Amino acid sequence: MKRLFASFLILIGLMGMASAGEIKSSLAPVVPKAAGEAHPEGNEFMRINHMKLMVHDRDDTVLLGDRNVKYSLKECVACHAVMGPDARPVSVKSDQHFCRTCHEFAAVKIDCFQCHNSLPDADLVKKLTMLPQKDRELAAYLKEVTE
Amino acid sequence: MLSIVYAVLFYVATILLVVGTGMKILKYARTPAPLKIPVSPAPRTRRGVWMRMGREVLFFQSLFKSNRWIWIFGMLFHWGMLLVLLRHLRYFTQPVWWWVELIQPIGVYASFAMVLGLGGLLFRRIFVNRIRYISDPSDYLMLLLIIGIAVTGMGMKFVMPVDIVAIKVFFLGLMRFQINELPMNIGVLLHLGMVAFLMIIFPISKLIHAPGLFFAPSRTQVDNAREFRHLSAWASQLPPLPEGIPKDEKG
C-alpha cells in the first residue's frame, strides 16, 4: 500500500514535469510573443506567479525604498508590447494587449493600469529588443500584407 | 494519464448527478399527496403560495421561526455557496458573461461566509448534545466534504495559486468532448476529486433536499379546502358506486 502511494506521488510529479510549459489546445487564449529573452523560470511559473512577483516587488519598493528590484512592471510592459495595426504598441484599452488575452479569459480584473502606464517606454523597448524602428515597421507591414 | 482519469470521472459524475437527480424529481412528482395538508398559517391563494415558497427558498422562513442559530449559519453557507458557484461560471463560459465578471471579487469574500457557516453547523453537530445524538456519519460527511472543497478552493486562491488558464482549457475541452491536460497540482486534484464525489453522491444524500423542498405538500398546497371541495386525482377517477349502496351515511 505504501509503495502504491509512493508510485502514485511519483506519477503525479512526472506528469507535472511533462505538463510544464505551454497549454496545447485550440481553446487556450492566443498569447502574443514577447520581444526579449524567455523567462528563465518558465512560462507556466510566470502564468501562476506573476502577480506575486509584482506585488512583492511593489512592497519592496514602496515600503522599503528598494528601487533595484528584480521584476518591474515597466519591463513587463516593454518586453510584452503588442503592436497594433498602426505598428505602434497598443494600450490596455485594446483587447490585443498582452495582459488582457489571459485576464479576460479568466475574468480577472487588472488593477495595475489604473495608475501605471500600459504603453511601453520607447527607450526601454529599444534596449530590451535591440530591434530598430524600421524593422518593426517592416514587420507590421508584412503582417498587414499577409492578413 | 491522470487528466484522462479526471475527465472520465467528471463525465461519469455529471451523468450520475443529472440522471440521479432527475429520477428523484420524477419520483417526488409522481408521489401522490391525496390530502390537503398545508401547514398553517397557510396562504389561501396560488399567488400566496408562490410568495410563501419564495420566502422559504430565498430566506428559509420556517427555519428562521424554529431555530435562529441554524438559520444564521445556514444563510451564511447557502448564500455564500451560491456566490462562489456563480463565480465558478468563468471556467465554463467563453467569453465570460459580464455579470460573472462583475461578481468575481464578491465571490471571493463569499467563500469566507460559506466556510464560517459550515463551521458553525459542524460545531453545533459536535458540541450540542442532543444534536450530536441524532447526527449520522453522513451528516458529518456532507459538512466535512463541502468544507474540504471550500478550503482547498480558498487555498488555491490565497496560498498556492494554480494555472487557472490551463484549468479553464481543461473544462472548456470537456464540454466539447476533447481531453486537455489538467495541471497536476495537489490542490487542483483534491478540490476537483471532492467536487466529483459530491456530484456523485448528491442524488442519494440529504443534499437532495434542494429539489425536494419544491415537492413538500405542507408548503406548496393552497389552503382553500373550505372554498373548494378537495378531490385527489385518483379519487375523481373512481367508477360510480354500484346500485344499492347508499351514497351518504347519516350521522
Taking only the tens place, the pLDDT of each residue in A66-122 is 877 777 888 888 888 888 888 888 888 888 899 999 999 999 999 889 988 888 887
- In the prediction, which pLDDT does A129 show? 64
Cα separation, B36 vs B217, in Å, equals 8
List the grid coordinates of A99.
495582459
Q: What percent of chain B has pLDDT over 70?
A: 97
A21: left (phi over 0), alpha (psi -120 to 50) or beta: left
Task: Write the DSSP symbol of residue B204.
Answer: G
Chain B residues within 8 angstroms (CB to CB) of chain A? 1-3, 90, 94-96, 100-101, 104-105, 161-166, 168-169, 172-173, 176, 178, 180-181, 183-186, 189
- The rounded percent of chain B whose pLDDT value lies above 90 is 85
| Residues B90, A27: C-beta atoms closer than 8 Å | no
| Alpha carbons B86 and B94: distance in angstroms, whole number | 15
Asked if A27 lies within 8 A of B161 by C-beta distance, the reply is: no
Cα separation, B220 vs B150, in Å, equals 33
Q: Whole-angstrom Cα distance, residue B147 to residue B143?
A: 6
Element (H, E) at A8: helix A2-19
Q: Of A136, A106, A101, A89, which is closest to residue B100 (Cα–Cα)?
A: A106
CB B95 to CB A104 under 8 A?
yes
Output b/e per residue, B190-203; b: 16+ Cβ within 10 A: bbbbbbbbbbbbbb
Best mutation target among A17, A22, A31, A47 (most B Cβ atoms within 10 Å) is: A47
Alpha carbon of B156: minimum distance to chain A alpha carbons (Å): 10
A12 part of a folded domain:
no
pLDDT in tens, B217-230: 999 999 998 888 88
The pLDDT value recorded for residue A18 is 46
- Taking the C-alpha atoms of residue B206 and residue B224, their distance in angstroms, rounded to an integer, is 32
CA dist list (Å): B70 to B1, B57, B84, B131, B198: 44, 15, 21, 11, 22
Residue of B95, B176, B184 with shortest CB distance to A19:
B184
- Residues sharing a CB contact under 8 Å with residue B194, sequence separation 6 or more, in sequence order: B145, B148, B149, B152
CB-closest option in A25, A47, A52 to B163: A47
Q: Please report the pLDDT score of residue B76 as a whole number.
A: 97
Domains of chain B: 2-32+63-211 (1.20.950.20)
Cβ separation A23–B165 shorter than 8 A: yes
Closest by CA to B150, choosing from B203, B97, B191, is: B191
Q: Pick the residue of B90, B104, B108, B163 with the most A CBs within 10 A to test the interface with A by mutation.
A: B163
Query: Rounded distance, CA B27 to CA B14, Å?
Result: 20
Does B181 contact A19 at a Cβ distance shorter than 8 Å? yes
Q: Is B62 in contact with B55 (CB distance < 8 Å)?
A: no
Is pLDDT at A9 greater than 60 in this prediction? no
Q: Is residue A25 part of a domain?
A: no
Is residue B221 within 8 Å of residue B42, measured between CB atoms? yes
Sequence letter at residue B245: I
Separation of CA A102 from chain center = 9
Residue A20 falls inside a structural domain: no
Q: Does A105 touch chain B (CB under 8 A)?
A: yes
Mark yes or no for CB contact A107/B105 under 8 Å: no
Q: Is residue A24 domain-resident?
A: no
Flag whether A17 is in a domain. Answer: no
- How many structural domains comprise chain A? 1
- Contact state of B164 with A106 under an 8 Å Cβ cutoff: yes
User: Which of A13-22, A45-54, B28-37, B143-152 reaches the highest mean pLDDT?
Assistant: B143-152
- For residue A124, is it within any domain? yes
Give the residue on B whose Cα is nearest the Cα of A17.
B184
In a domain, A75, yes or no: yes
Kindly tell me if the per-residue pLDDT of B103 is higher than 80: yes
Q: What pLDDT is recorded for position A136?
A: 63
According to the model, what pLDDT value does residue B34 have?
85
Q: Rounded to a whole number, what is the distance in Å from the CA of A75 to chain B's nearest CA?
A: 23
Question: How confident is residue B215, by pLDDT bands cut at 50, 70 and 90?
Answer: very high
Q: Among residues B66, B88, B153, B58, which one has the least CA distance to residue B115? A: B153
Q: Report pLDDT digits (tens) over B123-137.
A: 999 999 999 999 999
Average pLDDT score over chain B: 93
- Residues of A within 8 A of B96 (CB-CB) are 104-105, 107
A47/B189 touch (CB, cutoff 8 Å), yes or no: no
Closest CA to B187 of B160, B167, B206: B160
pLDDT band at A137 (very low <50, low <70, confident <90, very high): confident
Please, which pLDDT band fits residue B251 given cuts at 50, 70 and 90? very low
CA pair distance B202, B212, nearest whole angstrom:
12
Domain that holds residue A120: 36-146
Residue A2, pLDDT > 70, answer: no
Dist. CA B85–CA B146, nearest whole Å: 12
pLDDT at B92 over 50: yes
* A23 touches B: beta carbon within 8 Å: yes
The three cell numbers of residue B132 are 450530536
Gap from A7 CA to chain B (nearest CA, Å): 13
Give the pLDDT band (50/70/90) at residue A23: confident
Mention every residue, 6+ apart, whose C-beta is less than 8 A from residue B37: B217, B218, B221
Please tell me whether residue B217 adopts helix, strand or coil conformation.
helix
User: Taking 60 as the threshold, does the pLDDT of residue A132 lie above it?
Assistant: no
Question: According to the model, what pLDDT value does residue B113 have?
Answer: 97
Question: Is residue A143 less than 8 Å (CB to CB) from chain B?
Answer: no
Nearby residues of A89 by Cβ (< 8 Å), 6 or more positions away? A81, A82, A83, A119, A120, A125
Q: Judge whether A27 lies within some domain.
A: no
- All cell numbers assigned to A61: 519598493
Q: Could you give the CA distance from residue B176 to residue B185 in angstroms, rounded to a whole number? A: 23
Beta-carbon contacts of residue B140 (< 8 Å; ≥ 6 apart): B122, B125
Predicted pLDDT at B245: 67
pLDDT over 70, % of chain A:
78
Instruction: Average the pLDDT over A11-19 and give the result.
Output: 49
Q: Does A107 touch chain B (CB under 8 A)?
A: yes
Burial of B48 (0-12, 13-18, 19+ CB in 10 A): middle
Interface test with B, best of A25, A52, A103 (most B CBs within 10 A): A25
Rounded to the nearest angstrom, the minimum Cα separation between B186 and chain A is: 9
Q: Which residues contact B60 (CB under 8 A, 6 or more apart)?
A: B71, B74, B75, B78
**Reduced to 3 states, what is the DSSP secondary structure of residue A89?**
strand
> How far apart, in whole angstroms, are the C-alpha atoms of residue B76 and residue B115?
8
CB B104, CB B90: distance < 8 Å: yes
